[in-house]
Amino acid sequence: MARGRFGVAEPKQPQQRINDQIRKSPIRVIGAGGEQLGVMPTKEAMEEAQKAGLDLVEVAPKETPPVCRIMDYGKFKYQQKKRQSKGHSHQVKTKEVRLRPKTGEHDIMVKVNRARDFLEHKNKVSLTVQFRGRELAHEEEGRRVLEMVLEALQDVAKVEAPPKRHGRRINCMLGPK
């Protein structure tokens, strides 16, 4: 096994044999268009591949007889790599946007635009209105700010957790639509 990053052993990818690397004979051959060409000696199959200007690639080495296909090997490897990278999905992160009851209207719109950007990139957003000192006596002011933000984001977000008060904070969780 090959040693990868941090000295950890990585499993080896089974290497496909192409052209002169194919030693077994006879082999079952599939043409460039996907049609069955039948069972034939390896040399004959190599000649067919060369006539077409393509490679002879072993696709099922464990079968009896082994199955080989006439194809463009470079294009095949490119498509395989592309298909493999497509499997990676977006890791959803939770981003926090903090507000205060006395936050100005323009500053709130800046925070709304930031939250909108997070949501468009498929991340969750935690809205937090934080109270300090005597601001706790005016909880309705904090709720008004939170409702204003929720209204501005309703086209790109859905409320996953409604606004709840936790001590000196009001929290709300939004997810992308």
pLDDT tens-digit series, residues 40-89: 888 888 888 888 889 888 888 888 888 989 998 888 888 888 888 776 67
CATH class of 16-86: alpha beta
Residue 139 predicted with pLDDT over 70: yes
CATH superfamily entry for domain 94-176? Translation initiation factor 3 (IF-3), C-terminal domain (3.30.110.10)
**Which amino acid would we find at residue 37?**
L
Domain spans, the chain: 16-86, 94-176
Please give the pLDDT value at position 62. 85
Helix H or strand E encompassing 5: none
Relative to beta strand 2-3, strand 9-10 is antiparallel
Return the half-sphere exposure (C-beta side, CA atoms, 13 A cut-off) of residue 22: 30
Contact between 27 and 42 (Cβ < 8 Å)? yes
- Kindly report, residue by residue over 108-120, the tens digit of the pLDDT: 999 999 999 999 9
Query: At 138, is the secondary structure helix, strand, or coil?
Result: helix
Average pLDDT over residues 19-26: 82
Residue 41 three-state SS: coil
